[in-house]
Amino acid sequence: MLKENLLKRALSALVFVVVILGGILINEYLYVVIFTLITIIALAESYHLFEKSGNRPQKYYGIFVGLTIYLLTFFVARGDIPPSSYFIAIFLILFLFIFEIYQDREDHFISIAFTVFGIVYVVIPMSTLNFIAFSGINNGLFTYEYLLALFIILWVNDSGAYLIGSVFGKTKLFERISPNKSWEGTIGGAVFAFIAAYVISLFFTGLSLFQWFIFAGITVLFGTYGDLVESWLKRRAGIKDSGTIMPGHGGLLDRFDSTLFAAPMIFLFLKIIEYFFIS
């Protein structure tokens, strides 16, 4: 039984990595298809978490708005449409209030709040991946360099933290929210992440070694907070996993919780590099 579970986890992880790498490395069209699906599924899982906590977001309309915002961001980042196109999203959110008055319930504002919260928590952070993919450092052209680096560092950090924490973990990092995380594991994961950043710098020369180390530090710090926030949401909902789409690993929200906090910060970091060191 244990061997079957380990095999299931390994195969699930392999498929996940192949799909993500394919979406990043092959071309921008496959990228947008794969990451749009990931974003929408993760958003649906977040609404499931909110429902388990006793809240009732307008999940179907929220998913429609989330899909629209993600695709708008892709085409804005690609340079196909102007940033003013975001006004479409504003109008869609206004309609959320109109639809809510037709719902027969008393907690209207809570419903609206959690519908919008799902979009802010999942869709907007995932949308920043589009701007990382079409970074100004690469003259706005699609590039896999920074996306690939982000996910490699996140994966190495998670794996390193798990391995070191399993062997040496004694000091709890945040026991109230995530009792299995330890300071030893967190520091060990960070060390592996910086080693990964050094290796990445040998192949990707768009940033200096020092800048890659900053890239890794930002990813580790905010990725850890992303993990903790999702653990907090799951604890409030009283569930272990956000979904079941990945056998042995849970849902996509479980796999991208670190990305939700790391990606916006990496986008900001690359913008700073672009304006102060490239322009």
Domain spans, the chain: 22-134, 144-279
Sign of CA dihedral 36, 38, 42, 44: positive
What is the average pLDDT across 73-99? Answer: 92
How much is the pLDDT for 236?
85
Binned at pLDDT 50, 70 and 90, residue 138 comes out as low
pTM of the model: 0.92
Strand partners, 250: 246
pLDDT digits (tens, 9 = 90+) for 178-202: 888 889 999 999 999 999 999 999 9
Contact, 234 vs 227, CB < 8 A? no
How much is the pLDDT for 210?
96
Q: What is residue 85's DSSP assignment?
A: G
Binned at pLDDT 50, 70 and 90, residue 102 comes out as confident
What is the average pLDDT across 160-164? Answer: 91
pLDDT of residue 119 exceeding 90: yes
How much is the pLDDT for 13?
83
Binned at pLDDT 50, 70 and 90, residue 116 comes out as very high
Cα 231–Cα 97–Cα 235 angle in degrees, nearest 5: 10
Strand partners, 178: 174
What is the average pLDDT across 206-212? Answer: 95
Distance CA 17, CA 211 (A): 26
Helix residue ranges per DSSP H, 53-182: 59-78, 87-100, 108-118, 124-133, 145-168
